[in-house]
Structure 1
Amino acid sequence: MARRRHVCYLAAMPDDLPPATPLAPADPAVLGLDAAALAEAVRFAQAHETPWPRDLRAHLEGGHFEPPPDNAILGPVAPRGGPAGMILRRGRVAASWGDVRRTDMTFSVAKSYLSLLAGLALGDGLIADLDEPVAARVRSPQFEGARNGAVTWRQLLTLTSEWEGTLWGKSDVIDRNRDLNREGKARKGEARPLRAPGTFWEYNDVRVNALSLALLHLFRRPLAEVFRDRIMDPIGASRDWAWHAYDTARVTIDGVEMPSVPGGGHWGGGVFIGAEDQARIGLLVARRGRWEGRQIVPESWIDAIADPCPLKPDYGLLWWLNTDGARAPAASRRSLFASGAGGHVTWIDPERDLVSVTRWLDPAAFAGYAERVVAAMRD
């Protein structure tokens, strides 16, 4: 079957941008880390590569998430690289491994990036209150009617919206009853009876994509451009990353056709980025939204994303939490995680002034990796 040619809809980078600012390395001992124990954590990460094959297109088309026809790819997909990662302590690089500048798919890590964009929208006054219905600010068919018209920003950000519909050719039914513990065992979505918005938690990519569309209506320019101008450029990121839309995801705003980016790579597309740029984003969050004296993301938003959802205490505003220690027993209970299928985790541990990025690490091995990182700390 002929494959469609996908296009990257991130606007071209300006020619006058400065090169990426290097993240400064430091001797582990200066950062309060035992070098030998830290090296063991790195070896562990390198030795526990994700079981996913390098050919990601074949993996997704083979039904990793769901069987045909719901598994149809709508956006770009690229072969993956090998394990890579970085460990930062006190804002300095203590260790790195693999190709940390290679741009790879990140899957649901993009959800946490959408959360940062929502924080910008709230800070700009484009969102007045997270508990306000999206329909109060966004005039779009996707947020009309008794159900969808009542959905709030907070419900979209906590995955409790129960939004119903088809967006960009994908129905929310595909991800109904999705069990994250059974990823890799393709199943058909079941049209279970919907609950009232705000009363049921469910990991549903179509509903996250509805949030992305709503944010696009607020900013009235492609979210990849907003993310570049408001976050990535100010923190000295590279020019290599991109946020790809589906071929079907187009909307006209103010007479201009724009892409609406997804919050994952479930059906292709999403954020393609290197571990070093991800470490910058993690450090921005660890520094409570500040970078070199400038407040990039409202500080209040950093608190908001870590507020547990009452229906899912280990989930905040599109960020995973460690409130019960289940994700990583060795990590502090205040830890935040931007996590994506296939083994992508940005781990922020504010109690230890730690930022870790792991790429293509077997998810089953993450807790063991975190235990070894913590064991390397001497103060």
Structure 2
Amino acid sequence: MPRWLPLALLLATSAVQSDDYFPERDYWEQRPASELGFDPDGLDEAVAWARSQADTDPSDLYKMIYNHFAPREPDFRILGPTRPRAGDSGMIIRNGYIAASWGDLDRADMVFSVAKSFLSTVAALALDDGAIIDLDEPVGRTVQEDHFAGPHNSAITWHHLLQQTSEWEGTLWDVPDWADRPEGDDPADWPNRELQAPGSRYKYNDVRVNLLAYSLLQVMREPLPVVLRERIMDPIGASPSWRWHGYHNSWVELDGQHMQSVSGGGHFGGGMFISTEDMARFGLLFKRRGGWDDQRVFSADWIDTLAQPVADRPDYGYLWWLNTDRERIPQAPESAYWAAGFGGNFIYVDEENDLVIVLRWIPELEETVARVLDAINQPEG
């Protein structure tokens, strides 16, 4: 019996009761844009503009990753698999129905840092299960590893890792933390940069996100792709085509089992490979605050938790980007949030407008969202 089943049975007593539409596995209903509150011509123009911004060259993502990071990062290596990208694609979902879609919706492409938002969701499951008791608790109390030894690293909490404010110091999977997006002009100073207290400084850093993935593996005690499939992707009717990769050197022994610790992005290769439609299902799950049909997939409270802004980066929450003070997208509500990945991969979630937008290889999220919102028919008066 899975370790999470008793909680799932408990949560079933508070299952979602709603007349909202949820797509079946292998079928998602499309309705005319006008029935979903759009001006059809305006929506067509928004989609056409978005597609005009698509960037799929070069298709070889191995070369693109290497050429982007190797000139700046010492001893840069690609440690996980990559896959060439194809054409752009996207979906616009309103009231649960497809208002517009384009491109190959079934192709599982690399999604880069959108994987961070999937990783954040595994933390939500760990919290629901009691595998994490308190997000403000030091990680080292439950993950008793050398990674959290010493006065600095022992003070790091789950909250810090989820907000990318941990300032963790160390090496994971042969990559030191300082070598990821090193700061300063003198390479001799990079290994000796000044560290701030955990929680006091935001720093986007894939090595530290990978530490979160490793720590969640330690508390969940099973591979995170298995957790994600059983707890999230299967309940929402996702396809079996998605994959969540780690690195060739991120395998560990846990409870006598050989498991791979996954990565939270494609910075060093690996990460999430997923289709546009599966991303849209994931986005709709969040738009519905963790409920799917008659199931409670994760606690609705998590939606509010993930939106806690970082003190010195108020447009960032728990591995999701935020529209705090409507600064990033003035036309969108402040409550909107999105997952974002290198190369133009996005899942935009907007409860106020009952809207989910997925973009693949289209870097212009902000303007695309603004144009889609402009296409929504506004009530007179």
Q: How does 1:178-257 map to 2 (within 5 A)?
A: 190-191=190-191, 192-257=193-258
Q: How does 1:1-379 map to 2 (within 5 A)?
A: 20-50=25-55, 52-64=57-69, 66-67=71-72, 69-175=74-180, 190-191=190-191, 192-362=193-363, 365-379=364-378
Which digits, 9 at most, give the CA deviation of each residue in 1:264-300, with x for residues without a partner? Answer: 0001000000110000000000000000021101111
Q: Is the 8 A contact 2:290 2:300 kept in 1?
A: yes
From the superposition, tell whether residues 293 and 138 of structure 1 become closer, same or farther in structure 2 (CA, over 3 Å): same
Q: Is the 8 A contact 2:73 2:181 kept in 1?
A: no
Structure-2-length-normalised TM-score: 0.89
Give the partner amino acid of 1:223: L
Which digits, 9 at most, give the CA deviation of each residue in 1:304-362, with x for residues without a partner? Answer: 00121222211111110011333322221111110001001100111101000000002
Between the aligned partners of 2:152 and 2:245, the Cα distance in structure 1 is 29
Between the aligned partners of 1:308 and 1:62, the Cα distance in structure 2 is 32
From the superposition, tell whether residues 153 and 252 of structure 1 become closer, same or farther in structure 2 (CA, over 3 Å): same
CA root-mean-square deviation: 1.8
Between the aligned partners of 1:281 and 1:78, the Cα distance in structure 2 is 22
Between the aligned partners of 1:228 and 1:126, the Cα distance in structure 2 is 18
Q: Is the 8 A contact 2:56 2:86 kept in 1?
A: no
Between the aligned partners of 1:175 and 1:325, the Cα distance in structure 2 is 30
Q: Is the 8 A contact 1:177 1:202 kept in 2?
A: no
Which digits, 9 at most, give the CA deviation of each residue in 1:152-180, with x for residues without a partner? Answer: 0000000000011110011110225569x
Aligned-residue offset at 1:61: 2.0
Aligned-residue offset at 1:63: 3.5
Aligned-residue offset at 1:66: 4.6
Give the partner amino acid of 2:224: L
Match of 1:184 in 2: none
Tell me the matched-pair count. Answer: 352
From the superposition, tell whether residues 131 and 328 of structure 1 become closer, same or farther in structure 2 (CA, over 3 Å): same
Aligned-residue offset at 1:255: 1.6
- Structure 1: runs of 5 or more not aligned: 1-18, 180-186
- Structure 2: runs of 5 or more not aligned: 1-23
Q: Is the 8 A contact 1:323 1:333 kept in 2?
A: yes
Percent identical among aligned pairs is 48
Between the aligned partners of 1:196 and 1:293, the Cα distance in structure 2 is 44
More displaced stretch, 277-286 vs 328-337: 328-337
From the superposition, tell whether residues 336 and 189 of structure 1 become closer, same or farther in structure 2 (CA, over 3 Å): farther
Give the partner amino acid of 2:303: I
Between the aligned partners of 1:255 and 1:67, the Cα distance in structure 2 is 39
3-state SS of paired residue (1:324): helix
Q: Is the 8 A contact 1:176 1:190 kept in 2?
A: no
3-state SS of paired residue (1:29): helix
Between the aligned partners of 1:124 and 1:65, the Cα distance in structure 2 is 40
From the superposition, tell whether residues 69 and 313 of structure 1 become closer, same or farther in structure 2 (CA, over 3 Å): closer
3-state SS of paired residue (2:325): coil
3-state SS of paired residue (1:147): helix
3-state SS of paired residue (1:351): coil
3-state SS of paired residue (1:330): coil
Give the partner amino acid of 1:70: D
Between the aligned partners of 1:151 and 1:269, the Cα distance in structure 2 is 26
Give the partner amino acid of 1:332: P
Between the aligned partners of 1:292 and 1:165, the Cα distance in structure 2 is 43
Aligned-residue offset at 1:104: 0.5
Q: Is the 8 A contact 1:330 1:367 kept in 2?
A: no
From the superposition, tell whether residues 307 and 51 of structure 1 become closer, same or farther in structure 2 (CA, over 3 Å): same
3-state SS of paired residue (2:179): helix
Which digits, 9 at most, give the CA deviation of each residue in 1:238-261, with x for residues without a partner? Answer: 010000110010111112121000
Q: Is the 8 A contact 2:225 2:244 kept in 1?
A: yes
Aligned-residue offset at 1:46: 1.1
Q: Is the 8 A contact 1:65 1:266 kept in 2?
A: no
More displaced stretch, 251-260 vs 86-95: 251-260
Match of 1:12 in 2: none
3-state SS of paired residue (2:346): strand
Give the partner amino acid of 1:203: Y
3-state SS of paired residue (1:36): helix
Between the aligned partners of 2:190 and 2:155, the Cα distance in structure 1 is 23
